[in-house]
Structures are given as C-alpha cells and as structure tokens.
C-alpha cells in the first residue's frame, strides 16, 4: 500500500540551528510529495511540494528534494526561528488518486 514514515518527535532545537526532518515513503504508483505545517490552534498549511523525481520544493527557507532512488523527501532549513515551532507533516498523493496519505507528524520546538 501507500504510506509515509516520518522521523519520531518531538524535536527540540535552539534558534539558528540546522533542521532536518526525515521522511520516507512507500507508494504503489508515482507520487507527488508534500510538506504541510500545523501551527498551534490552526489548520494545515501547505509548506512546499514536489511533483517529480529530483524536483526541489522550497518556501520560507525550508527545502525538500524528491529522491526516488531512496524514496525520501527530507525537510531541511539552515537556520530555524522560534516562529517555526509547529507540527510538520509529510504527505503523498498518487497519480489518479484523490486522497493525501500523511505521516504521523513531527512536533518541532525552537527555543530562543
């Protein structure tokens, strides 16, 4: 089946640290990949996406590269801020399907 596995949380970092949140996937077809973010008390917001192998999605200083050979889509940011504290979800959608398949989420806390 289709599934997404994320790095276990919670993750706690100091401001300006480098961030990596690992995400790997299993897919029966050709997926598009997404990172969504959920700030406290708010709904899911799309952070970035990539629709084919070797594509790099980027937004707000975050980046993720679609790696088909390792079935991965790791999220990175060079220098995190307190305002990046949130829960991050990796997700996929298969060509021809309509449903997003999410990972379990990774809670990130950034300390000043």
Partner 1 sequence: DTGVSQDPRHKITKRGQNVTFRCDPISEHNRLYWYRQTLGQGPEFLTYFQNEAQLEKSRLLSDRFSAERPKGSFSTLEIQRTEQGDSAMYLCASSPSFLWDRQETQYFGPGTRLLVL
Q: What are the CA-CA distances from residue 18 to residues 15, 62, 110 (Å)?
A: 9, 11, 11
For partner 1, give the closer residue by CB, 34 or 80. Answer: 34
By C-beta, is 1 or 112 nearer to partner 1?
1
47 binds partner 1 (CB under 8 A): no
Residue 57 sits in the site that holds partner 1 (CB under 8 A): no
- Parallel, antiparallel, or unpaired: how do β-strands 86-94 and 62-65 relate? unpaired
> 6 or 112, CB closer to partner 1?
6
Task: Select from 42, 69, 70, 112 the one that contacts partner 1 (CB under 8 A).
Answer: 42
Closest to partner 1 by CB, 77 or 105: 105
CB 13 within 8 A of CB 110: yes
Pair 62, 77: CB distance under 8 Å: yes
Contact assessment for residue 10 and residue 107, using Cβ atoms and an 8 Å cutoff: yes
Contact call for residue 91 and partner 1 (CB under 8 A)? yes
Whether the CB-CB separation of 90 and 75 falls below 8 Å is answered with: yes
Q: Whole-number minimum distance, CB 62 to partner 1, in Å? A: 16
Angle at the Cα of 91 from the Cα atoms of 58 and 21, rounded to 5 degrees: 60
Footprint of partner 1 on this chain (CB under 8 A)? 4, 32, 34, 36, 42-46, 49, 51, 89, 91, 93, 95-96, 98-105
């Amino acid at each position: 089946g289709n599934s997404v596995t994320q790095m276990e949380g919670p993750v706690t970092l100091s401001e300006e640290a480098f961030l990596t949140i690992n995400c790997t996937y299993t897919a029966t077809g050709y997926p598009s990949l997404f990172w969504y973010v959920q700030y406290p008390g708010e709904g899911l917001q799309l952070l970035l996406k990539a629709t084919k192998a070797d594509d790099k999605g980027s937004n707000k200083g975050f980046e993720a590269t679609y790696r088909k050979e390792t079935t991965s889509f790791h999220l990175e940011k060079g220098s995190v801020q307190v305002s990046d504290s949130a829960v991050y979800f990796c997700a996929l959608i298969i060509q021809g399907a309509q449903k997003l398949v999410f990972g379990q989420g990774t809670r990130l806390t950034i300390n000043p």
